[in-house]
Amino acid sequence: ANALREHRCKLKCLPEGHDTAIQLCDVHLPNIVLDILAKALRSTHFKTLQLTDNNFGQYGISFALDYVENNPILEEFSLHQNSIENTEDVVRLCRIVKEHPSINQLRLHGCFGEDINSFKMLCLIINAGWDKLKYLCFSSNGVSTDGSTLLSDFVASNPP
């Protein structure tokens, strides 16, 4: 968090249209660290947020969704191997994707365990991003072949 504060001036000096990203991979993020990050990131907008295998539970999912919701320039959002354990978070994610002005890539590799109906989650996410997602990764979520028709319908619609 201190590094973000110290480099904020450098981030604001990047040329117009320059891609910015924050990636936190294979780093355990306890709630206190998430609170510090949330404060540091409040006015810093990246085009990519990649959170991979952070072991942060529902509190971390809420942190990530808050950041996405309040970052109008975010284009790519990844929660690779971070477990989404309740339907309410998926419904919130879908609302955010549908209403977000610029998100077009969503990576949810390995986010849903056995307690969540992955096919239902996939349907909700595809419906929310039907006309805006250019890339959706939903691998390693245990989706059964029931999704094959929905996926072919999505591809056949020739999304942008």
User: What tens digit of pLDDT does each residue of 42-87 get?
Assistant: 888 899 999 999 989 999 999 999 999 999 999 999 999 999 988 8
Cα separation, 103 vs 72, in Å, equals 8
Residue 10's pLDDT is: 46
Q: Over range 7-29, report the average pLDDT.
A: 70
Contacts 24+ apart (CB under 8 A), 126-130: 126/150, 126/151, 126/154, 127/94, 128/93, 128/94, 128/95, 128/97, 128/98, 129/94, 129/97, 129/98, 129/103, 130/154, 130/157, 130/159
**What is the pTM assigned to this prediction?**
0.80
pLDDT (tens digit, 9 = 90+) per residue, 132-157? Answer: 899 999 999 887 655 555 566 666 66
Q: Is the pLDDT of residue 14 over 60?
A: no
Q: What are phi and psi of 67, to 5 degrees?
A: -65, -45
Residue 130's pLDDT is: 85
